[in-house]
Amino acid sequence: MLIKLTGGKVYDPANGIDGELRDIYVQDGVIVATPPDARIDEEYALQGRIVMAGAIDPHTHIGGGKMTIGRLMLPEDHRGDPVCRGDLTRAGCGHAVPSTLTAGYRYAEMGYTAGFEPAMLPANARQAHMEMADTPMIDKGAFAMLGSDDFFLRQLAANDDIEAIKDYVAWTLHATQAIAIKVVNPGGISAFKFNQRQLDLDEQHAHYGVTPRQVLLTLSRAVKELGVTHPLHVHGCNLGVPGNVETTEHTIAGMEGLPVHLTHIQFHSYGTEGDRKFSSGAAKVAELVNSHKNVSIDVGQVLFGQTCTASGDSMRQYGNTGSASPNKWVVMDIECDAGCGVVPMRYRDKSFVNALQWAIGLELFLLIEDPWRIFLTTDHPNGAPFTYYPHLIRLLMDKGFRNDMMQKINPDAASSSVLASLDREYTLYDIAIMTRAGPARSLGLKDRGHLGVGATADITVYEDLADREAMFATPVFVFKNGELIVKSGKIVKVVQGATHVARPDYDKGIEKSLRSYFERFHTVGFDNFSLSDEEIITHGYGSLVIQPTAARV
């Protein structure tokens, strides 16, 4: 089967193509070079249309226990967005914490072909993968959370050899079928179980005596030396706390040049200036990111309306429960492994704090120079549901629209932000970097996020509309593995994406210590903890893609 996409304007930053008119050939799901004299089975005339690789969301909470807690807790939110069964699609519901099925459909209908769950607790990995398996259309992957689990903290407190820690990190990637490692409030989730209510970068954990700085440096080094492509994915200390821009500054400076991805950095860019002791730290953070090439970030943009925050950061989520709207919330201590907090949130444009959070996110987008090191996220659903992405893209691409929106927000917040003075408008090339090429490169997806020969044919075609929100909300065509799955923003074929994993080498000797640890302390046996490949490839509707890792150092 040979498909030709003819005459579209192609944005493919991984291959340096910036809006060139090109033909693309797809054979058996893969992009191929121009075949000589081949018979074309299907041709799509794309003159005047925009062609990009399928979009990749590198940080979206789509699978795992805390999402299902959010679903079960908020029937009132679902009732506003019921989704009927279609000719091809299953019923479900949308909005803040959509059903898995609806999430998959809506991602595809927006031109996304992959999404990565960033906070998979190892103890909950099996369920996270079950939920992702029930998220159709898109490729998936997950980041395993470490750093507040007692096995690692015991290793760190005992000054275990870095090689043993690396073995444990690698074993975790294998056992949980993960592609990367995330740390959330380093050591802080555990500290909260010991009744510590905050843990700054150099503050000691009450029981283990270790600090978040040690956790970050150790895990970052382990991930790097294991050859895992995606750097340690860091949800830092003091999320949401006014003044945390200093923590972020010290975190960046303290990484000693080790690669690190700072996630939802908007929530970590708060100063304490002004009457309300809440101000933007975006300029400072942007300057630090611009000058530290070892750092990449995603924003976690806040957009207005009802949503639900869901995080592994039980300590900080407990601290945020006073803002819960509606007033109900869940906090959990989990399995000597991690924790979670689920707090519904309504961001209001007339609230000074919420409006400034909105402005801080946009300031970060506009002040950070290198689009290869900044990814477009709302930290779904923490800042806003992922379905708001087209709106966010328009905010970035259209200064007039941005200024109009600024007129609607709390005036004190607007006047305390530098946003109105920022003239930058993202180009389609920038957007293609931020939503495709950048995440693919950072996550180590070698055949996704680009349109070069050999790439998997995940391709999105847009109408070139002046209203970028409308353009990005309703792609003309979306292809997954070369199959047409979406036409005019509606699903025409239901497919099941793959699960991407990374499997660095490790010394199996670590399993002896782990077996003993599980036997002494856990309620699940070592042999039943790991997820087998068969569990991912359930009934043949899942599949695995093992992405390459570099040699271990």
Partner 1 sequence: MSDVGSAIEFDHVPCPFCGLLCDDLKVVRTRVTLKVARNGCSKAIAGFERVLPTASPQIGGRNVRLNEAVAEAASMIRKSSSPLYGGLATDVGGMRSVMSLADHSRGVVDHAFSESVGFNMKVLQSAGWIMSTLTETRNRADVVVIVGSDVHTLHPRFFERIVCAETSMFDKANKPRTVVFVGEGLDQSAATGPRVGDVITLPCALDRVDEVVSALLARMRGNPVAGDSVAGVPLLAIEDVGKKLNDADYSVLVWAPAGLQTHDSDLTIHAVSDVVRLLNKTTRAAGLSLGGDEGATTSTSVCGWQSGFPTRVSYATGAPDYDPLANAIPNRLASNEADLLVWIASYSPDLVPPDTGLPTIVLGPPGMNLPGSPAVFIPVGTPGIDHSGQLIRCDSVVSLPLRNLGRSNNPSVASVLSAIEAAL
- Which 185-214 positions form the footprint of partner 1 (CB under 8 A)? 192-195, 207
Among 37, 47, 84, 421, binds partner 1 (CB under 8 A): 84
Residue (of 433, 464, 469) closest to 450 by Cα position: 433
Residue 97 binds partner 1, judged by CB under 8 A: yes
327 contacts: CB under 8 Å, gap ≥ 6 = none
Minimum distance between the CB of residue 510 and partner 1, rounded to whole angstroms?
Answer: 19
**Position 85 contacts partner 1 (CB under 8 A):** yes
DSSP state letter for 98: -
Give the Cα separation of 257 and 401 in Å (integer).
Answer: 38
Work out whether 322 is an interface residue with partner 1 (CB under 8 A).
no
143 near partner 1, rule: CB under 8 A: no
Please select the residue that binds partner 1; options are 73, 216, 485, 502, rule is CB under 8 A. 73
**Residue 183, φ and ψ in degrees, nearest 5:** -125, 135
| 523 binds partner 1 per the rule CB under 8 A | yes
Q: From the CB of 150, what's the least distance to partner 1, in Å?
A: 6
Dist CA 152 CA 338 (whole Å): 11
Region from 410-418, 419-427, 486-494, 524-532 binding partner 1, contact rule CB under 8 A = 524-532
Query: Of the candidates 55, 69, 255, 295, which one interacts with partner 1 according to CB under 8 A?
Result: 69
Task: Quickly list DSSP for 485-519.
Answer: EEETTEESS-----EEEE-----TTHHHHHHHHHH
Considering the rule CB under 8 A, would residue 57 count as an interface residue with partner 1? no
Q: For tokens 């000074």, what's the residue?
A: 352
Is residue 146 close enough to count as binding partner 1 by CB under 8 A? no
Tell how far CA 512 is from the center of its chain.
Answer: 33
Kindly give, in sequence order, each residue whose CB lies less than 8 Å from that of residue 529, ignoring residues fewer than 6 positions away.
Answer: 122, 175, 518, 522
330 binds partner 1 (CB under 8 A): yes
Strand partners, 48: none
Closer Cβ to partner 1, 319 or 361, answer by number: 319
- Window of 21-29, 70-78, 462-470, 477-485 that interacts with partner 1 by CB under 8 A: 70-78
Please select the residue that binds partner 1; options are 1, 91, 253, 544, rule is CB under 8 A.
91
Query: Which of 388, 472, 458 has its CA nearest to residue 428?
Result: 472
163 binds partner 1 (CB under 8 A): no
- Of 46-54, 65-73, 368-376, 413-421, the window that binds partner 1 (rule: CB under 8 A) is 65-73
**315: its two tokens:** 């300590």
The 8-class DSSP code of residue 266 comes to G
- The footprint of partner 1 on residues 423-442 (CB under 8 A) is none
Exactly one of 123, 286, 297, 510 binds partner 1 (CB under 8 A); that residue is 123
> CA-CA distances (angstroms) from residue 229 to 180, 379, 448, 449?
8, 21, 14, 15
C-beta of 334: minimal distance to partner 1 in Å?
5
The residue (of 337 and 469) whose beta carbon lies closer to partner 1 is 337
Angle between helices 212-225 and 150-157 in degrees, nearest 10: 100
With CB under 8 A as the contact rule, which of the stretches 372-380, 415-423, 460-468, 515-523 interacts with partner 1?
515-523
Q: Is the dihedral of CA 488, 47, 52, 468 positive or negative?
A: negative
Q: Is 522 in the site for partner 1 (CB under 8 A)?
A: yes
Applying CB under 8 A, what is the total number of residues that bind partner 1? 66
User: Measured between alpha carbons, how far is 458 from 547 in angstroms, rounded to an integer?
Assistant: 17
Quote the least distance from Cβ 368 to partner 1, whole Å: 35
**Which residues partner with 297 through β-bridges?**
262, 374
Distance CA 56, CA 40 (A): 29
Residues that bind partner 1 (CB under 8 A): 65, 67-69, 71-75, 78-79, 82-85, 90-93, 97-102, 121, 123-124, 126-127, 130-131, 134, 150, 192-195, 207, 318, 324, 327-337, 342, 520-525, 527-528, 531-532, 535, 538-539
